Structure 1
Amino acid sequence: MRRSKTSLWVNRILLWLVCLAFLFPIVWLFGIAIKTREESAAFPTVWWPSVPQWQNFTEALTAIDFLGYARNSTIIALISAVLGTLSSSYIAFGFAKLRGPGKKVLFGILLGTMMLPAIVTTIPLYIMFSKIGLTDTYVPWVLWGLAGSAFNIFLFRQNYLTLPEELEEAAIVDGCNYFQIWWRIYLPLSKPIMAAVFLLGFVWAWGDFFTPLLLLSRETTTLAVAPATQYIDPMGRPIPPLIAAGAFMFAAPVIVLFIALQRYFVQGFATSGVK
């Protein structure tokens, strides 16, 4: 009994240490956001400002079109998350339930694409989109969403393999086609994994820096790019407190979204590996 209590407290202490390690960058960023420019550049580092500069957050909102860039980020993130979730689910349903020659080979090729670094395809994608006139538009994100994600397809497929075959057979007897089977039966039964995939897609699109920087203009770019490139003084020098304040407000919606969906997020990953 003593040993079990001791191991319980050890586990709790380790969990608290891990949580503090993950929270430290957020606290550090917040500390820079409420410093003066002199304190942010001081050496040795001033860990906490003598007088918090709360007006930095207000200035970060007004110095650039913060809400406009936040709208652009929301549009792109929702496009990627919603379309990516639905398309990945539908493709995974085909891999899990449809029968046909070469299905395992195609699925293996799909999983193999996860080993290809995204940076390898960046230049070819930019050339392709620029040639057909799709730069400075959100159409590339629509196309990426419709194409699905190999990792998300894998998660959905593992979840669909856990569902009994009798559901599909009963639906076919009732006259449903395969699209209706997916839409009316399998999709509603995969809500936890849908929440997990939606959250992954939203966070990826919301935090993506390089792709909007490459494809979008100054007016249509996202909140991931604007704070790093537009908080500058008349001399062209970056303003660290404003960058930190903008970055903190940029990260806040994702943190809130994760807290709201964390139960479904954990449940989705847990059920995707059970067959």
Structure 2
Amino acid sequence: MQTTLATTRTTGRPASHKGTRLNDSCKYILLMILVILFISPFAWLMVTALKTTSELAAFPIHFLPVQAQWDNFVQALTMINYAAYAANSLILSSIYSVLTTFTSALVGFGFARLKGKGKRTLFIIMLSTLMLPQILTVIPTYVLFARLGLIDTYWPWVLWGLGSSPYLAFLFRQFFSSIPSELEEAAILDGCGYWRIFWQVFMPLSWPVIAAALIFSFNWVWGDYITPALFLSQDNTTLSVAMSAGYLDPHGNGLINIMAAGSVIYVLPVAAFFFFAQRAFVRGIVTSGLKG
């Protein structure tokens, strides 16, 4: 106590403030290191997009280009029909994200608010499917859709969207479980059925989770390569597949700098989408874990 008072008289502030400042400084340094680690891949991609082919093959490697080749971005947009393939990716991503968000919300509402025999068992079965790697289901799914004549169409993404997502259903279930039961009881007293309770009471309250679900599901399809490569032809395929097969020199070798330039443009929609919805996205992730 005497040491603390002496320190307070000498410095004019409690000794604990120094420890707090030191802790804050360590946290900021750690955060800066993490930011650098997270940004460095995109920075390397951007630098690669601004180099010439000879600079990429040179040794020793120079991080910065001698002269920025902004024409690489023009070539990335013109070597393939970039706008058409981007439109295909946008259509598929939008269809899937809207459908799977809605159906996952329905499933989550059922598990959170409805009562029925075997509900807990069904919920455990649904969660257990998260442990199954998606790559294992690609070939059986391809065979199924081939027999139905749905290959080279967008119907698989529609059906996947209607089938909901176990992870997103879990998020909605957690969020809906945290809503006070008094709201549901008041709606029932007013004569509302469960459909109206879901649509007019619960959904307007769940915008943070809806935003998180839209971002997740949109990004899943936008960044997918394997499924469009198997299910779609070259004319109807997505941007990720078109870039991997379109940026080639006359000898069939990949143009790394052009591919990097196309990839920079490719990630901008997702980055912009997350930037404008990040607050709702974070709130959706946080509030979905309030109640088990």
Work out whether the TM-score is over 0.5: yes
SS of the residue corresponding to residue 225 of structure 1 reads: helix
- Alignment correspondent of 1:60: 76
- Alignment correspondent of 1:193: 209
Q: Does residue 242 of structure 2 align to residue 226 of structure 1?
A: yes
RMSD of aligned Cα (Å): 0.8
Deviates more, 1:208-217 or 1:165-174: 165-174
Cα distance, 1:41 vs. partner?
Answer: 2.0
Alignment of 1:31-46 (within 5 A): 31-46=47-62
Q: Which amino acid aligns with 1:84?
A: T
Q: Does residue 279 of structure 2 align to residue 254 of structure 1?
A: no
Q: Which amino acid aligns with 2:240?
A: A
- Alignment correspondent of 1:83: 99
Q: Does residue 204 of structure 2 align to residue 165 of structure 1?
A: no
**Structure 1: 5+ residue stretches without partners:** none
SS of the residue corresponding to residue 255 of structure 1 reads: helix
Cα distance, 1:188 vs. partner?
Answer: 0.6
Cα distance, 1:43 vs. partner?
Answer: 2.5
- Alignment correspondent of 2:13: none
Instruction: Give distance in 1, aligned partners of 2:25 and 2:219.
Output: 33
Instruction: Give distance in 2, aligned partners of 1:248 and 1:148.
Output: 30
Q: Which amino acid aligns with 1:242?
A: I
Instruction: Give distance in 2, aligned partners of 1:43 and 1:264.
Output: 46
Q: 2:259 aligns with which of 232, 243, 247?
A: 243
- 1:53-111, Cα deviation, whole Å (9 max, x unpaired): 10110111011000001100100110111111110001100000110000000000000
Cα distance, 1:174 vs. partner?
Answer: 1.6
Q: 1:184 aligns with which of 185, 194, 200?
A: 200
Cα distance, 1:268 vs. partner?
Answer: 0.6
- 1:204-246, Cα deviation, whole Å (9 max, x unpaired): 1100111011101111111111111110112111111110001
Q: Does residue 45 of structure 2 align to residue 29 of structure 1?
A: yes
Q: Does residue 63 of structure 2 align to residue 47 of structure 1?
A: yes
Report the TM-score when normalising by structure 1: 0.98
Cα distance, 1:46 vs. partner?
Answer: 2.3
Q: Which amino acid aligns with 2:187?
A: A
Instruction: Give distance in 2, aligned partners of 1:251 and 1:56.
Output: 16
